[in-house]
C-alpha cells in the first residue's frame, strides 16, 4: 500500500442528453482535481448522460456498453493521461438490458463495474436491478467498493462490503430532497454516509450533482467521510459545481475498527440472533 492519498468528490451539473458537454465539464473538473493532488476521483451518478430520462427508449439511446462505449473510453483515456483512479456513473447497455452502473477506471484501464442494486422511483421502469453483487477491487492504495445513491439507505450493502475487507466505498449519487428536509440544513444522506463509515470503520466518498433537470432539483452536498464517521471535509454546497478533497490513508479503518479491548462492530456481530427474524416476504 502507498499510504496517504488525496481523494476528490467532484460535484457536477450534467445536462440531460448532452454527453459531449458533460464529458467536457468532467474532464475540466477532474484535471483540476488531479492538479490539486487527487489520486482517486469520484463523479456523480449518471454523470455523462443526466438522470431524468423521459422514457426507457431515451435512456437506451444514451446507454453504452462497458468498457467499450464512447464515454467509458473517454474517461479511461482521461484516467490514463492524468494518472488517477476514477469512479463514474454510467448508463450501461448489455444487449436489450439497461443498468444504472458505476465504473472503476485506473491508469491501466477498466478495473471493474458495479450495477445499482436498489433502484429509486422511476428507475424501476427504465433499468434492471444490478446483478453483479457487491464486488470489491484491490488497488495500490486500498480496497474499493462502489454503491450508487439509494443503495446508501441499506445498511446491509455497506456491511457486506466491509465484511469483504473494503477500505473505502465510492458513492456516485444524485440526491434529491426528501420529506421533512429543511432548506439550509444538512441532507439526511450525509447522516447515512457518516453512520455507515462509523459502524463499519470505512471511508465513504460521496459525489453528488446539482441543478434542476426536468423540474427535479438535486441537492449537492458531496462529502468525504473518514472511518470514525467524522467528515474529512466540509460538505460541498447545494447549488454549484464544486470539488471537495481530503488526504487520508484509506487503510486506517483496519486499525481503527477495533475500538477497545472488547469492541469491534464487525467482529461483535451476532448473526445467529438476527437470523430468526429473516427478511420480510
Predicted confidence at residue 181, as pLDDT, reads 85
Q: Is the pLDDT of residue 39 over 60?
A: yes
Predicted confidence at residue 57, as pLDDT, reads 98
pLDDT above 70 coverage of the chain, percent:
99
pLDDT grade for 1, boundaries at 50, 70 and 90: low
Q: Retrieve residue 273's grid coordinates.
A: 440472533
Q: Retrieve residue 117's grid coordinates.
A: 442494486
Q: Is the pLDDT of residue 207 over 80?
A: yes
pLDDT above 90 coverage of the chain, percent:
96
Domain range for 195 is 5-277
Contact 48, 90 (CB under 8 A): yes
- Average pLDDT of 136-141? 97
Predicted confidence at residue 183, as pLDDT, reads 81
Predicted confidence at residue 182, as pLDDT, reads 84
Give the span between the Cα atoms of 223 and 237, in whole angstroms.
Answer: 10
- Active-site residues: which are they? 45, 116, 149
Q: Is it true that the peptide bond before 63 is cis, omega within 30 degrees of 0? A: no
**pTM for the predicted model, two decimal places:** 0.97
Q: Retrieve residue 182's grid coordinates.
A: 429543511
Contact 166, 143 (CB under 8 A): yes
At residue 95's C-alpha, the angle toward residues 147 and 106, to 5°, is 45
Q: What is the CATH number of the domain that holds 122?
A: 3.60.110.10
Q: Is the pLDDT of residue 281 over 90?
A: no
Q: Retrieve residue 31's grid coordinates.
A: 484535471
Per DSSP, the residues of 7-19 read: EEEEEB---TT-H
Structural domains of the chain, count: 1
Strands 168-172 and 216-219: unpaired
Mean pLDDT for the chain? 96
Amino acid at each position: 500500500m502507498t499510504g496517504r492519498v488525496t481523494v476528490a468528490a467532484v460535484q457536477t451539473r450534467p445536462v440531460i442528453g448532452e454527453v459531449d458537454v458533460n464529458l467536457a465539464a468532467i474532464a475540466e473538473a477532474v484535471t483540476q482535481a488531479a492538479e490539486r493532488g487527487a489520486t482517486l476521483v469520484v463523479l456523480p451518478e449518471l454523470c455523462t448522460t443526466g438522470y431524468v430520462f423521459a422514457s426507457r427508449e431515451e435512456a437506451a439511446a444514451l446507454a453504452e456498453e462497458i468498457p467499450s462505449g464512447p464515454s467509458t473510453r473517454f474517461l479511461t483515456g482521461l484516467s490514463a493521461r492524468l494518472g488517477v483512479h476514477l469512479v463514474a456513473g454510467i448508463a450501461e447497455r448489455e444487449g436489450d438490458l439497461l443498468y444504472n452502473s458505476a465504473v472503476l477506471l485506473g491508469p491501466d484501464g477498466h478495473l471493474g463495474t458495479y450495477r445499482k442494486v436498489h433502484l429509486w422511483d422511476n428507475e424501476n421502469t427504465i433499468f434492471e436491478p444490478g446483478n453483479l453483487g457487491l464486488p470489491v477491487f484491490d488497488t495500490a492504495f486500498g480496497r474499493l467498493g462502489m454503491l450508487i445513491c439509494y443503495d446508501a439507505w441499506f445498511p446491509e450493502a455497506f456491511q457486506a462490503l466491509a465484511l469483504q475487507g473494503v477500505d473505502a466505498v465510492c458513492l456516485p449519487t444524485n440526491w434529491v430532497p426528501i420529506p421533512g428536509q429543511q432548506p439550509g440544513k444538512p441532507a439526511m444522506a450525509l447522516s447515512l454516509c457518516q453512520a455507515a463509515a462509523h459502524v463499519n470503520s470505512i471511508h465513504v466518498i460521496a459525489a453528488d450533482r446539482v441543478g434542476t433537470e426536468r423540474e427535479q432539483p438535486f441537492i449537492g452536498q458531496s462529502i468525504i467521510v473518514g472511518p470514525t464517521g467524522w467528515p474529512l471535509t466540509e460538505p460541498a454546497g447545494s447549488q454549484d459545481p464544486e470539488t471537495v478533497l481530503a488526504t487520508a490513508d484509506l487503510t486506517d479503518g483496519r486499525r481503527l475498527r477495533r475500538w477497545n479491548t472488547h469492541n469491534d462492530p464487525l467482529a461483535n456481530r451476532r448473526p445467529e440472533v438476527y437470523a430468526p427474524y429473516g427478511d420480510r416476504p
